[in-house]
Amino acid sequence: MNKFHEVWQNYVIPYLTIIIQKVKAFYHYLTLHKNKVLGGCFGIIGIGLLFILLFLSGVFGSSYSDEELINFENETASVVYSEDNILLGKFFAENRTNVSYDQLPKHLVNALVATEDARYFEHEGVDSRSVIRVLIKSILLGDKSSGGGSTITQQLAKNMFGRKDYGPFSMLINKSNEIKIAQQLEELFSKEELLSMYLNTIPFGEDVYGIESASERFFNKKVSDLKIEESAVLIGMLKANTYYNPRLYPKHSLKRRSVVLHQMQKYDYISKSEYDSIVKLPLKLDYANPENQGIANYFLVHVKRNAQKIISEYNKKHNSHLDIESDGLVITTSLNAQLQYYTLQAFQKQLGKMQNLIEKQYKSGTSKKELDSIVAKHLKRLNDSDPKEMREYFTWEGTKTAELSLSDSIRKELTLLHAGFLALNPQDGFIKAWVGGIDFRTHPYDQVTAKRQLASTFKPILYTAALEKGIRPCKYLKNEMPETNDEEAWQPENYSKTNGGMYSMAASLAKSLNIPTVNLYNTVGYSNLKELWEKMEFSYEIKDYPSTALGTSDASLLELARAYSSFANGGYLINPRFITSIKTPDGKVIYESSEAVVSKRVISEESSLLMSAILQKALNNGTGASMRSVYGVRLPLAGKTGTSQSYGDAWFASFNPNLVMVTRVGASSQSIHFNTGRYGTGSTLALPITALTLQKVEKNKELSHELFTYFPALPHYLDGALDCEDYKEGTDVQMFFNNVFKKKTEEEKETKRQERKKRREERKKRRQQN
């Protein structure tokens, strides 16, 4: 009854008095004309008054208990951070991050109140003047131009529970419901709490909800760091979030910003001089859409998959209902944002340069004819008439749109160089960098998990199988194939086209020689190689062909990185890990990575140490030597380049006891490639991405100390394991006799030197005597 009395006294009587006065005047007019009309008017007035009473009493619509309102929670996006505390992205059904009142700048609150609800701090959820105006003009008379009339608290009620369809009575019932909820909210929460609740629920378009997410999207900053003119832009969007979107319609946004600033001046939140100054400022955005422009979007796909598995197991164990898209979880990953950023810069520099070169190659000559033929086959398959239309395409200067024929679009796509880069810690499996492609929005296919021919990066696996069999690094391998009468038999060639003589096993791998490698394959045997290949958990089924020795098998960057980790960590195969912890918004830990590492031994420690030593030789003096000589990287490294047939793919795999890195570059079709090793080899196309990344890492002393350490020295029982000449001419038997004759020749030369010396001394003695 008290509530009804309050509504009657504060809302009904003042407007009823006005209505009665108007009715009396109208009554005198009616008595002079038609008495029957009077009865109808009183009936309408009576119905109207009844609706007013029911409307203001909140009779219409749903009811919510105080407990339901107190426990109401917005769906909140889960946030993902790097190990160095950089926001990588969000997982959400609604992109929202909640903030408390003390995180809101004062000018933002002032802009909101001045624009949306000037009497906010005076009313108790309902502004009677606005309500009656809306009831009579908007609802009863259908005048939509009369304004909304809802207070901030009523708008909050609408945002919390939405509106339902009640047919022709929808507006009446929904408004009544919002009034009732608004009055409840005012009793349960302070004005400040209601403001933060409201700002956390409002939509800004682009699937963005809440002021914090909007601030991050349009100005790339936290809400607490907003400037007054930026606050005015965001508050201006509340009227129509698409029409006043500052990215889409900057002129509309500026005009609306002026309205908000004028309202702030009108209600004395800013002075006239402040208004005059701020209103002249240009619109400056720092638009950041993390779904398209984040530094680790490919990585986040795998993080989400792993996090969902962890959360599902937690829910099952604890009978809970945590949701990755709505419960605001805080997910911390192992990714190092600084290393990731350095790699992205290396992609931009190296691939931007090489992209220009490959496009130039395919603009003329034989290459152009080959490309035209491939494009024609695609058009025939698509059965398209090749019309011109506006098409989007990727460039290293940014995504562009132009009027292109379908054939031109296919040509651009075919000649586009793709690349992937993966870095992980071989000791614990934690991912440190994951660049899955050149642009996630236009090319979401992940190059880190894509399988391509391994080329010479496969060779260390074969050589490790040899080490496991007991063959030592100083074992000499023939650099020529056995003679055969089969003219069609496959004959490998070295990249240098040379043959003859013998190379130590270590030198054969360091120099990536093909002929000694195939001879080693014949010595090791297919079964031993297959056993190791399967232990390392490659998914491709290896074939028993001599060409297998040269890397004709397919694998992904991730699979190769795991295999190379066994060279870096003493012989163990590790599982990749992405997440270090998951917490609820209030800090409760629901997952934390353990110190225990899931791994299994796949090679002996001795083989691991020897392979590590051989591949250090490959990087310092072999095919990876440009890391030192061209790029000047001095970090302790081992590595191996790889170049698939006809330069279809370029690889570079490198490692340190604390970090394994694998890079691969190639077009989507292996039919498209560089025609020369000057541009298409692993050392010229893939290695530079790693090298450019490591140049920056080396300058960052803190990061380089974290990611790199020195290789352990070979134990005493392996001392001298690599101390042998790289090359010998001829077979071991020939070398034996050569050494015998060489020794005799050296003895004769030494005898002659001694005789000459004796004669000089005698002449000198005679001169002194004379």
Are 390 and 484 part of one and the same domain?
Answer: no
**Does one domain contain both 387 and 243?**
no
For the ranges 49-63, 395-409, 506-520, 719-733, the lowest mean pLDDT is seen at 49-63
Does 327 map to a domain? no
For residues 683 and 435, what is the distance between their CA atoms, to the nearest angstrom? 19
My answer on whether 250 and 369 are in the same domain is no
Per-residue pLDDT tens for 126-139?
776 666 665 555 55
The predicted model gives 87-97 an average pLDDT of 78
Within 13 Å and on the Cβ side, how many CA atoms surround 591?
23
Question: Could you give the count of Cα atoms lying within 13 Å of 25 in the half-sphere of its Cβ?
Answer: 5
pLDDT tens per residue, range 509-557: 999 999 999 999 999 999 999 999 999 999 999 999 999 999 999 999 9
DSSP 60-79: SS----HHHHHT----B-EE
Q: What is the distance between the alpha carbons of residues 216 and 212, in angstroms, rounded to a whole number? A: 6
pLDDT in tens, 138-196: 554 455 444 456 888 888 888 777 777 667 666 667 777 788 888 888 888 888 988 99
CA distance 628 to 632: 5
Is 344 inside any structural domain? Answer: no
Which one is predicted more confidently, 53 or 360? 360
Tokens coding 131: 């309500």
**Terminal CA-to-CA distance of the chain, rounded, Å?**
146
The average pLDDT across 408-420 equals: 95
Distance separating alpha carbons of residues 533 and 543, to the nearest angstrom: 11
What is the rounded CA–CA span in Å between residue 156 and residue 191?
A: 12
Read off the CATH number of the domain in which 509 is found: 3.40.710.10
Compute the mean pLDDT over every residue in the chain, rounded to the nearest whole number: 85
Considering the domain architecture, whether residues 81 and 191 belong to the same structural domain is answered as: yes
* Angle (nearest 5°) at CA 125 between 122 and 130: 80
| Same domain as 405, residue 260 | no
Per residue, the 3-state secondary structure of 556-571, as one string, reads CHHHHHHHHHHHHCCC
539/622 same-domain check: yes
For residues 535 and 554, membership in a common domain is answered with yes
Which of 690, 718, 746 finishes a domain?
Answer: 718
Judged by DSSP in three states, 712 sits in coil
Q: Is residue 766 part of a domain?
A: no
- Is the pLDDT at 3 greater than 60, yes or no? no
Phi, psi (deg, nearest 5) at residue 513: -80, 135
3-state class (DSSP) for residue 257 = helix
The confidence score (pLDDT) of residue 145 equals: 45
Has residue 303 been placed in a domain? no
Do 493 and 402 share a structural domain?
A: no
Same-domain check for residues 402 and 503: no
pLDDT tens for residues 712-755? 999 999 989 999 999 998 655 455 445 544 455 556 656 666 76
Q: What pLDDT, in 10s, does the model give residues 305-343?
A: 999 999 999 999 999 999 898 888 999 999 999 999 999
Residue 738 in domain: no
Q: What is the pLDDT of residues 219-228, one digit of tens each?
A: 989 999 999 9
Same-domain pairing of 402 and 424? no
Domain count for the chain: 3
- Asked whether the predicted pLDDT for residue 269 surpasses 80, the reply is yes
Question: Which of 292, 320, 354 is the last residue in one of the domains?
Answer: 292
Structural contact between residues 131 and 146, judged by C-beta atoms closer than 8 angstroms: no
Share of the chain above pLDDT 70, in %: 80
Strand partners, 652: 641, 663
Q: Which domain holds residue 607?
A: 417-718
pLDDT at site 122: 85
> What is the structure's pLDDT at 185?
81
**pLDDT number for residue 462:** 98
Tokens 């080899």, located at residue:
681
Mean pLDDT of 620-645: 96
Do 386 and 621 contact (CB within 8 A), yes or no?
no
Residue at a domain's end among 268, 292, 316: 292
CATH of the domain at 139: 1.10.3810.10
- Residue 280 pLDDT > 50: yes
In a shared domain, residues 64 and 78: yes
Tokens linked to 687: 């290695």
Mean pLDDT to the nearest integer, 643-655:
96
For residue 473, what is the enclosing H or E element?
none
Residue type for position 273: S
Q: Is-contact 683 618, C-beta < 8 A?
A: no
Report how far residue 766's alpha carbon sits from residue 112's, in angstroms, rounded to the nearest whole number: 114
- Answer whether 242's CB lies under 8 Å from 254's CB: no
Q: Is residue 596 part of a domain?
A: yes
User: Does the residue 317 lie in any domain?
Assistant: no
What is the structure's pLDDT at 398?
84
Residue 92 bridge partners (DSSP):
none
Q: How far apart are CA 179 and CA 153, in angstroms?
A: 9
Residue 442 lies in a domain: yes
Whether 28 has a pLDDT exceeding 70, the answer reads no
Number of alpha carbons in the 13 Å side-chain half-sphere of residue 2: 0
524: tokens are 């090791």
pLDDT tens sequence across 198-240: 898 888 988 788 899 899 889 989 999 999 999 999 999 999 9
Tell me: do 384 and 457 sit in the same domain. Answer: no
